[in-house]
Structure 1
Amino acid sequence: MNNQSLYILVVEDQQSIAQNIANYMEDKGHVLDFATQGDQGLELALTNHYDLVILDLNLPVMDGLEVCKKLRKQARHHVPIIMLTARDSIDDKISGFTLGADDYLTKPFSLEELEVRCFALSRRHLLQTNDTLIFDQLCIDRKRQQVTRSGQNLELHTMGYRILTILAEAYPQVVSRSKLSQKLWGDEPTESDALRSHIYQLRNMLDKPFDYPMIKTMHGIGFLLNVESHVKSDVINNDK
């Protein structure tokens, strides 16, 4: 299916599940580290450079949601996370995504599907670390901080550019209002209508002159980059 070898951290306290993942993934050529407690998993994730983390929710010492939350705050770079859990309610999934999970797989699961999702997530992360992101008509040049849509240069204000970049880097996940506000202003308080105003201005530049809106509001949750055609090409490798 794919000859790429991934370096994966599995944080799972059920030995049988961890062993099944190990048998399948290592047979495919992937390299795995394991942790059975949340605090151990967090320490490993912060001290090693993994392609992604497979993270169970029900863990001893520190649960998966807390591990995810701390990893997002403390890691020096973004580590893709697949949450692996028996919790399958919408509220559980929203909680996971809000805290920074990139994908969600419920038990019981197919090991083949798990590998497919690992490949998809690692590829998406690679695209997101490139200097240039392309989503259908949209091109974001992060090195020059320039944005074009359908070849037209968009004169975005600084805040609009930051909002669009956050949504693009999170694609295809929803970014909650609270997470977006935290990324824009940190812990500093801001006016309640400030985010709404910036989103409105961004939409005027990004959406109104074109054939379909790219900023989608998910009512009660947050915002999503709406793309009719996924990333077309891997362009301009990050030279950092």
Structure 2
Amino acid sequence: MKILIIDCDQATVSSVFNYMEPRGHLLDVAREGTTGLHLATSNYHDALIIGWADPQIDGPGLVRTMRQNYYIPSPALMLTERAEVSDKVRAFRSGADDYLTKPFEPAELEVRLEALVARSRGTVARNRLVVGDLTLDLSTLEVSRAGRMIHLYPACRKLLHLLMLESPAAVSRERLEYAVWASDPPDLDLLRSQISSLRQSIDRPFEEKLIQTVPRFGYRLAAGGNYQNHRHQATALSEAGESAPR
């Protein structure tokens, strides 16, 4: 997960870093709200950890600003010493998704964040990802677009899975290569070849092109041309068999 921590408490920041970073999570840190808001609006994060006692704007106020003024959709967890019910109510009404009081166990924090990210992506339901008119059923490995079945070789299907899961965020070349070849990527630039093959299958027959190149970084998959404020178009359908993302 890529996580943004906005907290003026150095002990809390150090505790989160010491536990999360060795476990492979990427963390950005802001010690006050203005910097945190800038980082949240200029970068994508899977989840936000927000403290309460900010010298400029308190935690609930910061969350409300993110939601109402900047439409930041990333799930936010309030991490604070304040344990009164009234504080929790205010935090949730401001747009927070979860609330954890200090002292806390980093393992519990990680699990809560993972649950928030899973729910925001829709992956707690049936394993069926949808971006626009493109669907990937993870149970049957069937791919379809606009009702038309598409055959993909395993390498392209792995790339598609990661791009849809992260849609509409950009995915680095390194992560895409790891998804296909793990820790032993080929010497040749086979990723570009595989992306080209994937484009031929899911984009060429259709007017709207979903796969976009991000220069000097990687690729993204997004529908509708609007990926800035709508992070979670890759959505799982419910067991009831809904025909569109929730």
If the TM-score is normalised by the length of the shorter chain, which range does it land in? 0.5 to 0.7
Q: Which residue of 2 aligns with 1:150?
A: 146
Secondary structure of 2:24's aligned partner? helix
Q: Secondary structure at the match of 1:36?
A: helix
Shift in Å at residue 235 of structure 1? 2.6
- Structure 1's 193 and 232: CA in aligned 2 closer, same or farther, altered over 3 A? closer
Among residues 132, 140, 161, which one is paired with 2:157 in the alignment? 161
Query: If the length of structure 2 is used for normalisation, what is the TM-score?
Result: 0.56
Q: Which residue of 1 aligns with 2:195?
A: 199
What is the alpha-carbon distance in structure 1 between the residues aligned to residue 210 and residue 167 of structure 2? 11
CA contact (8 A) 1:174 1:222 kept: yes
Contact 2:128 2:137 in 1 (8 A): yes
Which of 221, 235, 238 lines up with 2:238 in the alignment?
235
* Residue identity opposite 1:151 in structure 2: G
Structure 2 residue corresponding to 1:137, chosen from 133, 141, 149: 133
Whole-Å Cα distance in 2 between the matches of residues 105 and 11 of structure 1?
5
2:23 corresponds to which residue?
Answer: 71
Aligned residues: percent identity? Answer: 20
Find the counterpart in structure 2 of residue 63 from structure 1.
none
Summarize the alignment of residues 25-104 of structure 1 with structure 2, pairs less than 5 Å apart.
36-40=12-16, 43=19, 67=21, 70-72=22-24, 83=28, 85=30, 86=35, 88=38, 101-102=45-46
Contact 1:136-1:232 at 8 Å conserved across structures: no
| CA pair 12-232 structure 1, distance change in 2 beyond 3 A | closer
After superposition, the C-alpha distances for 1:112-171 in whole angstroms (9 at most, x for unaligned) are: 145764259564233476411122211110011110000000000101110000001111
Aligned-partner SS, 2:122: helix
* AA at the equivalent of 2:159: I
Contact 2:5 2:48 in 1 (8 A): no
Q: Which residue matches 1:77? A: none
- Unpaired runs of at least 5, structure 2: 51-55, 68-72, 76-96, 98-115, 227-232, 241-246
Q: Deviations over 1:21-64 (max 9, x none)?
A: xxxxxxxxxxxxxx614345553x6xxxxxxxxxxxxxxxxxxx
Give secondary structure in 2 for the equivalent of 1:216. Answer: strand
SS in 2 for 1:224: strand
Gaps of 5+ in 1: 1-8, 19-34, 46-66, 74-80
The answer as to whether partners of 2:150 and 2:202 remain within 8 angstroms in 1 is: yes
Runs (4+) of structure 1 exceeding 6 A deviation are 104-109
1:182 Cα offset (Å): 2.0
Aligned residues between the structures = 174
Query: What one-letter code is carried by the residue in structure 2 that aligns with 1:102?
Result: D
**Partner SS state of residue 190, structure 1:** coil
Q: TM-score, normalised by structure 1?
A: 0.58
Q: Quick one: distance in 1 between partners of 2:6 and 2:47? A: 16
The two structures, once aligned, show a CA RMSD in angstroms of: 3.9
Instruction: Specify the alignment match of 1:111 in structure 2.
Output: 63
SS in 2 for 1:110: helix
- Do 2:133 and 2:145's aligned partners in 1 also have CA atoms closer than 8 Å? yes
Residue 8 of structure 2 corresponds to 14
State whether residues 13 and 36 of structure 1, in contact with CA within 8 Å, keep that contact through their aligned partners in structure 2: yes
Greater shift in the superposed pair: 109-118 or 184-193: 109-118
Write the letter of the residue equivalent to 2:64: E
Q: Is the 8 A contact 1:132 1:142 kept in 2?
A: yes
